[in-house]
Amino acid sequence: MQNRPLLISPSILAADFAKLGEEVRAIEAGGADWVHIDVMDGHFVPNISFGFPVMQSLRPHTKLPFDVHLMVAPVDPYLAQFAAAGADIITVHAEAGPHLHRSLQAIRALGKKAGVSLNPGTPVSVLENVIDQLDLILIMTVNPGFGGQSFIPSMLEKIRQARALIGGRAIDLEVDGGVSEKNAGEIHRAGANVLVAGSAIFRGVHAQQIRAIRSAAMITV
Ligand code: DX5
Ligand code: ZN
């Protein structure tokens, strides 16, 4: 069981980009804990989303922490710019380069929380030798690149493995991809404490959807 609070991090990838400031204010008013910001480079993943100027423009619209998920390779040359653009948590992919330990050191040296994301095909064991350099583990439960995909059920076991690796450490365990009120309960019970949701939140009334996911996650069976 995790000892960390349950947090909801709506992914603005599914927001209406024509009114992004309003969307972020709506999720804050609706009870979101973090803002999940998906940066895609068209190289590490087969899609392009947005980057520094969008983050900078959004920063004055909310006090919520920016949970920045970088699907970018190489990523090290850009870490300082993401920190300057308002990131609080910077998550890099383990698959994005050969120097994961160096990337994590660089993020912490910038005074930010350091996260590592794992694609569905990457085992939890790649984190064993960097576990004390981490503030967050992000388990991808879809292949990254697009919102609106279906949760891969075999990832529940991987969430349990990551929770076991974390043990008593102060590390958040985040899950991203296909999360909704339908599976939030089993994901939380498997050991995740941060739930990312894009389409499930932005395709409905944001506050209602955040509440529904949070209460589904809290149900104990
Ligand atoms: C996918 C992104 C996710 C995505 C989740 O590469 O990392 O954060 O926005 O979207 P949903 O919740 O729609 O699966
Ligand atoms: Zn993401």
* Ligand 1: nearest atom to the Cα of 69: 7
Q: Is the distance from CB of 48 to CB of 42 less than 8 angstroms?
A: yes
Contact residues for 22 (Cβ-Cβ < 8 A; gap 6+)? none
Instruction: Say if 1 falls within a structural domain.
Output: no
The pLDDT of residue 2 is: 60
Query: Which single residue is written with the structure tokens 């891969």?
Result: 152
The residues assigned a catalytic role are 38, 176
Query: Which single residue is written with the structure tokens 């960097």?
Result: 130
What is the percentage of the chain residues whose pLDDT exceeds 70? 99
**What confidence category does residue 16 fall into, taking pLDDT thresholds of 50, 70 and 90?**
very high
What CATH number is attached to the domain comprising 208?
Answer: 3.20.20.70
How many other β-carbons are positioned within 10 Å of the β-carbon of residue 155?
22
Instruction: Say if 2 falls within a structural domain.
Output: no
Instruction: Say if 160 falls within a structural domain.
Output: yes
120 CB within 6 A, ligand 1: no
Q: Mean pLDDT across the stretch 47-74?
A: 98
* Domains contained in the chain, number: 1
* Ligand 1: nearest atom to the Cα of 13: 9
What does the alpha-carbon distance between residue 84 and residue 143 come to, in Å, rounded to a whole number? Answer: 28
Instruction: Say if 104 falls within a structural domain.
Output: yes
The pLDDT of residue 181 is: 98
Instruction: Say if 191 falls within a structural domain.
Output: yes
Instruction: Say if 205 falls within a structural domain.
Output: yes
Distance in Å, CA 175 to ligand 1 centroid:
10
**197 lies in which domain range?**
7-218
Instruction: Say if 75 falls within a structural domain.
Output: yes
The pLDDT of residue 220 is: 78
pLDDT digits 0-9 by tens, 71-103: 999 999 999 999 999 999 999 999 999 999 999
38 CB within 6 A, ligand 1: yes
- The per-residue pLDDT of the chain, averaged, comes to 97
Q: Say whether pLDDT at 1 is over 70.
A: no
Instruction: Say if 127 falls within a structural domain.
Output: yes
Lowest mean pLDDT among 1-5, 35-39, 119-123: 1-5
pLDDT digits 0-9 by tens, 143-196: 999 999 999 999 999 999 999 999 999 999 999 999 999 999 999 999 999 999
93 CB within 6 A, ligand 1: no
Q: Mean pLDDT across the stretch 123-143?
A: 98
